[in-house]
Amino acid sequence: MNALPALLLLFAVALLAGCQSGGAGGLMISLPGPAGQALRAAAGVAPAVPGAFSDIDEPEEIELGRAVSANLGSRYPLLRDRALTRYVTLVGNVVAAESERPDVRYRFAVLDTPEVNAFAAPGGFIFVTRGALAAMRDEATLAGVLAHEVAHVALRHGIDDVKAAKRKHLAVVAVQQGLAQTRVRAFSNLIASAADVVADQVVLKGFSRADESAADRAGIAYAGRVGYDPAGLRDFLRTLGGRSAQDASMTRFFATHPPTGDRLSEVTPLVQAQAGGVRNPERFAAALRGGGQRPAR
Amino acid sequence: MTRRLFPLVALLVLAASVAGAQTSRWVERTKADVRAGRGSYFDVVDTVLKGEQVEIVRSEARWLSVRTPRAKVGWVFEAALATQPVSGGTSDFLKLAPGDASTSATAASAGAKGLYAEDYARAKGFDYSVVSWIEETQVTAAEMERFISAGRLRGAGDPR
């Protein structure tokens, strides 16, 4: 007798049963069709997955980040300007070295859109738009914005949604393998199910207010520790705060971030507490000119 | 005589094991890159896998200089290492999932090259060259050091 299907079925039941023994807070899932009903009946418990399989390790996170980046690239054109991208990468790497995860290989890129925004994808893929660069005056401002995005990665914001997708996918794989013995390219399917969710979160929904506040605080700390004027992020927010909500380039930023006034109220005392640092306006302007851009006046 | 020596031998064995524990660490992530310097932009000199034991050479600013089982010396971020032995193995997902992903080496290798994300992009009709272009556009450690110095900034571990 081939024991594999039985073992997989047992694994699936174990996944479902896990919530009863310490699975508090586990994700409730809905397995499809009669298979799910049969398993739920066999397990005699609510359909949830325990936390033991919930971790996302770094290779998985990077692979997911690649998929999310490809998704973002379908929404905004990439600005394929090596010199400008390398400059953004230099600034980003400096602040990332002070983050909670300095060992992540961060990748930085510029999106060719007048929209003002910046995005962080899992695995360290960071994007800033041409519109955002045009709203900045100096390198300290760019450092502040990039540090905020690095903080989303370093603090693993949004990973809970990926974990949820992973748990759900694991259970589905177990059911498919146990009952139908179909060959499933499991990791590939996880990428497919999670990348769309994460890309929507990054571009359309944004992170939670608590995550945004945490990223503001951490980003200001990173920038200050490496010697940038930590007021860079505050100055960027001030610039954006002066723009109309009707401004087409700002619509998505305002929709995916907490009210700018609230953020300014939170970050201003932090900036005042650690005054000083460099701003480097000249090389910022030179880098933007080289890329055909013009910094804000 | 033997009875009198036993406590001494036991003490020596204990001291040796404590000393060993202080200079050894075990990789607790699926894999960790060992780099030529304290930063993710330095070249990779070796890659250590979950459960492998490394010897600590020295520590500085959250990074540990280690000697790997292949006698390479480089820097690893402290959070990648545990002070107690760790069982080897790949990620739980790759280990549990049958099919193409069940062979951990194959899956890790494929993932490292972006094949799964590339499959996703192809299925969705997305242009994967976007990701390739971003990954190709990197800076060297020497460029980073020049940039930090010219910008009057501090690198990781530099005195405040």
Of A86, A166, A283, the CB nearest to B137: A86
Q: Is A289 on the interface with B (CB under 8 A)?
A: no
Distance CA(A187)–CA(A165), nearest Å, equals 12
Q: How many of the other CB atoms lie within 10 Å of CB of A43?
A: 18
* Distance (Å, whole) CA B139 – CA B144: 7
Residue-level pLDDT, tens digit, chain B, 160 residues = 556 666 666 665 555 454 444 699 999 998 999 999 999 999 999 999 999 999 999 999 999 999 999 999 999 999 999 999 998 865 544 444 433 333 344 444 555 556 689 999 999 999 999 999 999 999 999 999 999 999 999 986 665 5
What are the residue ranges of helices labelled H in A176-241?
A: 186-200, 209-225, 231-241
3-state secondary structure of A229: coil
Q: Is A2 an interface residue toward B (CB < 8 Å)?
A: no
What pLDDT score does A194 carry? Answer: 82
- Give phi and psi for B89, each to the nearest 5: 135, 165
ipTM above 0.85, yes or no: no
Residue pair B40/B51 in contact (Cβ under 8 Å)? The answer is no
Q: How far is A244 from chain B (nearest CA, A)?
A: 32
- CA distance linking residue A109 with residue B130, whole number of Å: 10
pTM: 0.79
Mutation target to probe the A interface, by most A beta carbons within 10 A, among B44, B131, B139 is B131
A149 touching B, CB under 8 A?
A: no
CB A237 within 8 A of CB A263: yes
Locate tokens 């914001």: which residue? A157
Tell me which chain A residues have a C-beta less than 8 angstroms from the C-beta of B141.
none
**Residues of chain A positioned with their CB less than 8 A from the CB of B111:** 59-60, 62-63, 187
A63 touches chain B (CB under 8 A): yes
Spans of all domains in chain A: 3-56+158-202, 79-157+207-288
Give yes or no for a contact between A277 and A228, defined as CB atoms under 8 angstroms apart.
Answer: yes
Decide if B135 touches A, using CB distance below 8 A. Answer: yes
Closest CA to B65 of B54, B80, B49, B76: B76
What residues of chain B lie within 8 A of the CB of A221, using their CB? none
Q: In angstroms, rounded to a whole number, what is the distance separating the alpha carbons of residues A108 and A124?
A: 8
Q: From first to last of its 297 residues, what are the pLDDT tens digits of chain A?
A: 444 444 333 333 333 333 222 222 222 223 333 333 333 333 333 333 334 345 778 888 999 999 999 999 999 999 999 999 999 999 999 999 999 999 999 999 999 999 999 999 999 999 999 999 999 999 999 999 999 999 999 999 988 777 776 677 666 666 665 544 444 455 666 777 788 888 888 888 888 899 999 999 999 999 999 999 999 999 999 998 888 777 888 888 888 888 888 999 999 999 888 878 999 999 999 999 986 666 666
Phi, psi dihedral angles at A77 (to 5 degrees): -70, 145
Q: Is B104 on the interface with A (CB under 8 A)?
A: no
Chain A hits for B41, Cβ within 8 Å: 93, 105
Are B151 and A283 inside 8 Å of each other by CB? yes
Residues A208, A209, A210, CA angle at the centre, nearest 5°? 90
